[in-house]
A and B are shown apart, each in its own frame.
Chain A
Amino acid sequence: MCPSDEQPPQVSSVWRGALDAQAFDALFRECAADVHGYVISLLGERSAAEDVTSLAFERLYRSRSRLDHRRGTPRAWLFAIARNAALDELRQRRRRPRGDLPQEISAGARSSEALDAVERRAAVGQALAALSPREREVVLLKFHGELSNAELARALGISESNAATRLHRALTRLREGAGRLQREEVA
C-alpha cells in the first residue's frame, strides 16, 4: 500500500458514488504505490511507469463522471485505466518488459530468514518471467490491484469464468515454477 505517516481516510470511507476531491485524494494515497508497482512490473522501466501512473490518475479524474459504482470500485476502474495506458505504452514504444527487475532488499538483511526470502523471491521472479505475457499480466493485476474476479474480468475485457480460468492457470504455473526453481537451487 501507499506509504504514509499519517492516517489518511480510506477511499471506501469517503466514496459516496461520486469521485469528488476528497475521494480522489484518498484514492491517490491508497493506490498510487500499487498502480506504480503494477505498471513498472508490466513495463520494466521506471520513467515509463511514472508516465503511465500519472496518466492513469489524470484519465481517472477526467472520466470520473462516467464512474459507475455498480460496475466496480474506483480502485478497479483505476487499474483498468492503468492497464490500458500501459498496453498503449507497450504498443507505441515496442518495449519489452525486463525480466530482471531490481530486487530491493534492505542492506541490513543478513538473517537466514532474509536470505530465504531473497532466494524465494528470485525463484518467483524467474517463474513470473517464464509465464506468457497474458498469464503474467493477470497475476500482476490480481496481486497489485487486489481486484475481485469480476473486476479482473472487467479490466481484461473477458468473462468472469475466463478470468477465473486464466488466473487459476497462471497462479498454478507460477507456484509450480517457483517451487521447482527453489528445489533446483537447494539441490
Chain B
Amino acid sequence: MRIVPFPAGPGADPDERWLAELEAALSGEAEGPTADGWRELRADVRAMAPAMDPAFHERLREELERRVVRPAWLRSRTALISGGLATALAVVVAVVLVTTPSRPGQSAQRGPAAARSTPASGRGAVESATSAPRAPFAAVGGEEGSPRAAAGTVSAAPGRVQQLAASITLSTTASGVQDAADGVARLAAADEGFVESSHVQIQQQGPSEAMLMLRVPSARLGAVLASIGRLAQVRAESQSLQDITDAYSAARQRLSDAEAERQALLRALAAATSEGQIASLRERLLQSRGTIAQAQSALHSISQRASTSEVEVSVLGDAPVRSEGLTLDRGLHDAGRVLVVAATVLLIAAAALAPLALVLLALAGLARAWRRRRREHALDAA
C-alpha cells in the first residue's frame, strides 16, 4: 500500500485535514479503504443521475456549434457596444467642431463679403435732376481725379448735392486694437480729415475695442475707406447716401431772396426823403442783415454736410492670433482644439453619467443580492 502524506500539516484545522484527505482520495492520489470509500461514494452518487439522452447531446452540440460559428463581430457584444460608443463620441465631437467658430481669420475673411452694404448711389435722383444748376460746394461723385475705394464706394450723381456716410468694422487681436485705432486717426489726418470723437477700451481680461467717428472730405471717402480696410480684417462695411439738393437749393434761394431784398431796401433808402421813411428803412435793413446772416449760415451748414462725410470706425479685438496657410503651428492648434473639445465632451458625459452609474451599480448589487436570496429560498423550499 502506498503511503500518501497529508497535504496539510499536523497542526492544521480538522476541517482542513479532512478536506485534504477527501481531495487526495477523489483525485486518486490517496489509496486505502478510506480513499476507496470516498471514490465509491462519488461513483454511486454520479451513477444515480440518469445518463444524458444521446439525441439531446447531439442536438445541443449542433446548436452550440451553430452559435459559435457566427461572425465574430456579431458574437462580441462588447465590441458592438464599444464601437457604438466610439461612433457616438465621434459624432458628438464632429458636431461640436462644426458648430463652433474655428480657426482665426475665417470669420473675419467672411465678414466683408457678407456684411458689405452699399447704397443705391442715388441714381434715381440723378435721373430726375440732371438739369439742376451745379452746386458751388457740392462734394459730388464723378468729379475728375476723385479717388475710389477698392470696393463698395458710393458713386455720387453729377449735379446733385449729396451727403455721404460710412461705417466700417475691423477685427484684430486684442493687442492690436490700439495700433489699429492710431492707424485710423493717422489715415484720417493724412486725407485732410479729422477725428470727431474716439473711445478706445483695452482690457487684459475681457473685450478690447475702439470706436472712432471721423469726418473726411467726401471726395476722399473712398480712399479713406480703402486705407482703413488695409489696417485689419474688415468684418463689416456699409455706406449711405442722402440727397440734399432740395435743402441746398432752398437755402441758397433764401439767401438770394434776402440779398435781393437788401438791395431793394438800399435803393429805397437812397430815394427816401422824410425822416420817418429813412428810420423805417434802416430798421428793415437791420432785420435784412440778420436774415442774410441766417441764410448764409444755413447754406454753409448744408454745404459742409455735402463736402465732408462722417465715417464710423469700430475696431474689435476679438480675433485670435492669425496664421496663414497650412502650418505646423496651425495643425498643432487644431489638434489641441480637437483634444480639448473631446476632453470636454468626455468630462461632461462623465459628470452626467457618474451619479447615474453609481445608482445603477447600487441597484445592480441589490438586485443581485435579492436574486441570490430568492435562489437560496427556492433551494430550501425544494
- Identify the stretch in B38-46, B196-204, B224-232 within 8 Å (CB) of chain A at 4 or more residues: B38-46
Evaluate whether A53 and B45 lie within 8 angstroms (CB atoms) in the complex, with A58-B67, A134-B380 already known: no
- Identify the stretch in B19-27, B173-181, B185-193, B337-345 within 8 Å (CB) of chain A at 4 or more residues: B19-27
Question: Which residues of chain A are within 8 angstroms of B37 by Cβ–Cβ distance?
Answer: 175
In the complex, which residue of chain B has the Cβ closest to the Cβ of A139? Answer: B45
Instruction: Give per-residue flags for A76-98: 1 if the beta carbon is below 8 A from chain B beta carbons, else 0.
Output: 00000000100110110011110
Contacting A101 at CB < 8 Å: which of B48, B64, B67? Answer: B48
In the complex, which residue of chain B has the Cβ closest to the Cβ of A156? Answer: B376
Contacting B15 at CB < 8 Å: which of A50, A94, A121, A165? Answer: A165
Cα-based distance from A122 to B113 in the complex (angstroms): 99
Instruction: Give per-residue flags for B66-94: 1 if the beta carbon is below 8 A from chain A beta carbons, else 0.
Output: 01110000001110000000000000000
Q: Is the CB of A90 within 8 A of B42?
A: no
In the complex, which residue of chain A has the Cβ closest to the Cβ of B79? Answer: A65
Instruction: Say yes or no: is B286 at the interface (Cβ < 8 Å to chain A).
Output: no
> Helix, strand, loop or mixed for chain A's interface?
helix
For B, the interface residue count at a CB cutoff of 8 angstroms equals: 44
In the complex, which residue of chain A has the Cβ closest to the Cβ of B26? Answer: A146
User: Nearest Cβ distance between residue A6 and chain B, in whole angstroms?
Assistant: 13
Instruction: Say yes or no: is B18 at the interface (Cβ < 8 Å to chain A).
Output: yes
Instruction: Say yes or no: is B322 at the interface (Cβ < 8 Å to chain A).
Output: no
Instruction: Say yes or no: is A148 at the interface (Cβ < 8 Å to chain B).
Output: yes
Q: Is the CB of A61 within 8 A of B49?
A: no
Instruction: Give per-residue flags for A49-71: 1 if the beta carbon is below 8 A from chain B beta carbons, else 0.
Output: 01001100110011001000000
Q: Is the CB of A54 within 8 A of B47?
A: no
Instruction: Say yes or no: is B246 at the interface (Cβ < 8 Å to chain A).
Output: no
Between B47, B53, B65, B382, the greatest number of chain A beta carbons within 10 A of the residue's beta carbon is seen for B382
Question: Which residues of chain A are within 8 angstroms of B64 by Cβ–Cβ distance?
Answer: 24, 28, 57-58, 61
Question: Which residues of chain A are within 8 angstroms of B76 by Cβ–Cβ distance?
Answer: 65
Q: Is the CB of B18 within 8 A of A57?
A: no
Between B15, B18, B63, B377, the greatest number of chain A beta carbons within 10 A of the residue's beta carbon is seen for B15
Query: Which of B331-382 touch A at CB < 8 Å?
Result: 372, 374-382
Cα-based distance from A175 to B378 in the complex (angstroms): 26
- Identify the stretch in B54-62, B115-123, B164-172, B302-310 within 8 Å (CB) of chain A at 4 or more residues: B54-62
Question: Which residues of chain B are within 8 angstroms of A184 by Cβ–Cβ distance?
Answer: none
Cα-based distance from A104 to B380 in the complex (angstroms): 28
Instruction: Say yes or no: is A174 at the interface (Cβ < 8 Å to chain B).
Output: yes
Instruction: Say yes or no: is A149 at the interface (Cβ < 8 Å to chain B).
Output: yes
Contacting A21 at CB < 8 Å: which of B19, B69, B379? Answer: B69
Instruction: Say yes or no: is B52 at the interface (Cβ < 8 Å to chain A).
Output: yes
Question: Which residues of chain B are within 8 angstroms of A40 by Cβ–Cβ distance?
Answer: 49-50
Q: Is the CB of A57 within 8 A of B378?
A: no
Q: Is the CB of A102 within 8 A of B50?
A: yes
Contacting B378 at CB < 8 Å: which of A25, A91, A103? Answer: A91
Question: Which residues of chain B are within 8 angstroms of A171 by Cβ–Cβ distance?
Answer: 22, 41
Cα-based distance from A167 to B21 in the complex (angstroms): 13
Instruction: Say yes or no: is A30 at the interface (Cβ < 8 Å to chain B).
Output: no
Instruction: Say yes or no: is A74 at the interface (Cβ < 8 Å to chain B).
Output: no
Instruction: Say yes or no: is A140 at the interface (Cβ < 8 Å to chain B).
Output: yes
Between B15, B42, B49, B378, the greatest number of chain A beta carbons within 10 A of the residue's beta carbon is seen for B49
Q: Is the CB of A54 within 8 A of B15?
A: no
Question: Which residues of chain B are within 8 angstroms of A41 by Cβ–Cβ distance?
Answer: 45, 48-49
In the complex, which residue of chain B has the Cβ closest to the Cβ of A41? Answer: B49
Question: Which residues of chain B are within 8 angstroms of A167 by Cβ–Cβ distance?
Answer: 19, 22
Q: Is the CB of A174 within 8 A of B60?
A: no
User: Nearest Cβ distance between residue B125 and chain A, in whole angstroms?
Assistant: 82
Cα-based distance from A32 to B15 in the complex (angstroms): 31
Evaluate whether A88 and B375 lie within 8 angstroms (CB atoms) in the complex, with A57-B64, A161-B15 already known: yes
Can you name 13 A-B residue pairings with CB atoms under 8 Å? Answer: A28-B64, A32-B57, A33-B57, A37-B52, A40-B50, A41-B48, A46-B53, A54-B60, A90-B378, A91-B377, A104-B47, A124-B41, A164-B18
